[in-house]
Amino acid sequence: MLDLNSKAPEFTLQNTNGDKISLSDFKGEKNVVLLFFPLAFTSTCTKELCQTRDNLKLYESLEAEILGISVDTFYTLKEFKASQNLNFQLLSDFNKETSQNYGVLYENFYGMKGVSKRSVFVINKEGEIVHSEILENASDLPNFKMIEDSLLKLS
């Protein structure tokens, strides 16, 4: 488990256009909210990301970039993003390295190995983790109020 106020592990992942996005792209510019989610097109993941979509103006007002991350291919994420009109970036951690580095991989998720746990990491502009929540039960939603509160403290 990553400690609060520790440096967030760097990553570079492909977005739904196949472009490479790195955590360091936002350093000094924006706070970052990483939303790890198990699988595109599943009910709880859709609910979580649509709730985030509907509150994007709030996150933007708090100088936060939302990055959704799953082990799905970026092709699958592109279809998911379009089907739900998501207005933030989805990143493919197909090789599972970023999920591993953040300590959020299920060993066994309904018979599948290496699926991301629903998790949230709020990272400040200096690249430090200021809030984290790792959910063991995939049907639980993250505490959006705590995400908002941690961003408010940074503004």
Digit-coded pLDDT (tens) for 41-75: 999 999 999 999 999 999 999 999 999 999 999 99
The pairs formed by 20-23 with CB atoms below 8 angstroms and a separation of 24 or more are: 21/67, 21/89, 21/91, 23/123, 23/127
Domain-embedded: residue 130: yes
The alpha carbon of residue 59 and the mean position of all alpha carbons in its chain are separated, in whole angstroms, by 13
Tokens at 120, concatenated: 């949230």
Domain-embedded: residue 61: yes
CATH number at residue 126: 3.40.30.10
Give the pLDDT confidence score for residue 36 in this predicted structure. Answer: 98
Residue ranges making up the domain that contains 46: 12-154
Is the pLDDT confidence value at 1 over 80? Answer: no
Domain-embedded: residue 127: yes
Catalytic pick from 39, 45, 115, 120? Answer: 45
The answer to whether residue 50 is catalytic is no
At residue 112, what is the residue type? M
CA distance 60 to 21: 18
Is the pLDDT confidence value at 18 over 90? Answer: yes
Q: Cβ(101)–Cβ(5) under 8 Å? A: no
Domain-embedded: residue 18: yes
Least confident stretch, 4-8, 9-13, 32-36, 117-121: 4-8
CA distance 132 to 33: 10
Domain-embedded: residue 72: yes
pLDDT bracket for residue 111 (50, 70, 90): very high
Percent of the residues in the chain that have a pLDDT greater than 70, as a whole number:
100
Domain-embedded: residue 47: yes
At residue 8, what is the residue type? A
> What domain count does the chain have?
1
Domain-embedded: residue 7: no
